[in-house]
Amino acid sequence: MEIQTFGVIGAGQMGSGIAQVAAMSGLNVVMNDIQEAFVDRGFKTIEKFFDRSIEKGKMTAEQKAEVMGRIKPSTDINDMAGTDFVVEAATENEALKFEIFKMLDQACRPEVILGSNTSSIPIGRIAAQTKRPEKVIGMHFMNPVPIMKLVEVIRGIATSDETFQITWQLSEKFGKTPAESSDYPGFIANRILMPMINEAVFALYHGVGTREAIDTVMKLGMNHPMGPLTLADLIGLDTCLAIMETLYDGFKDSKYRPCPLLRKYVEAGWLGRKTGRGFYEY
């Protein structure tokens, strides 16, 4: 199966990044969101990235125009009818993703592969919302998508070998390095990363160190590019909490219990960079 037109559901930070790398690989892209304002914001995010690339001499204005011309805006999920492969990149909310996949299953041709950029929700549960579970797969990109090289490829219990191979090859076409994960809550990346972030929040909660001290120890002591609290702010504290809740619900293990301070910040609307305040102020 040759992928020529690629659909993305969600034009936020992750969705716009996925749309960008797909268009840069030569595919036609349909970038969809529920409001035109959200789609416009996604386009502006992509344009800013390209403008910086032009300033650095990594891209020409003509190349930018060519790639941008391959991305079609959409606010109607039925526009996915003309796509060959769709990736959902909506908020990390199980009920929302279930509803999107039910709609995609109706809108898309039977042979179309439906991928999810979920960072924690088991693919088998998402696939069960469709009549094509063999064509549902996890395609978990890292943030920021245009920069980070990894794509976790997660096959559900019903995912076919053909679906897996097409997704693996598509990841490579995007210039990414795919890694296979089994279908457990959090997969590989967030099963390891999120408990570390959660423990950093517990360290702050218990007064073990200041936010700056905790981040400095992990940066300089463990050679991480940024501290866990700074990273949590970048990811979004609401997303971190949602992933921890998925891990906790999925494994029923107390080591995945979300820190009360993380929950308190989310309830206060302090979600990190996107709201101007998280563990740090922006």
Binding site as annotated, residues for NAD(+): 10-15, 33, 92, 97, 119, 143, 274
Q: Which of 117, 152, 171, 198 is catalytic?
A: 152
**140 an active-site residue?**
yes
Q: Which of 16, 32, 120, 190 is catalytic?
A: 190
**190 an active-site residue?**
yes
Q: Which of 119, 120, 181, 198 is catalytic?
A: 119
Q: Please report the DSSP string for the chain in residue order.
A: ----EEEEE--SHHHHHHHHHHHHTT-EEEEE-SSHHHHHHHHHHHHHHHHHHHHTTSS-HHHHHHHHTTEEEES-GGGGGG-SEEEE---S-HHHHHHHHHHHHHHS-TT-EEEE--SSS-HHHHHTTSS-GGGEEEEEE-SSTTT--EEEEEE-TT--HHHHHHHHHHHHHTT-EEEEE-SSTTTTHHHHHHHHHHHHHHHHHTTSS-HHHHHHIIIIIH--SS-HHHHHHHH-HHHHHHHHHHHHHHH--GGGPPPHHHHHHHHTT--BGGGTBSSSB-
Q: Which of 140, 181, 198, 245 is catalytic?
A: 140
CA distances from 35 to 31, 100, 106, 271, 279 (A): 11, 15, 21, 22, 30
**206 an active-site residue?**
no
Residues forming the active site? 119, 140, 152, 190
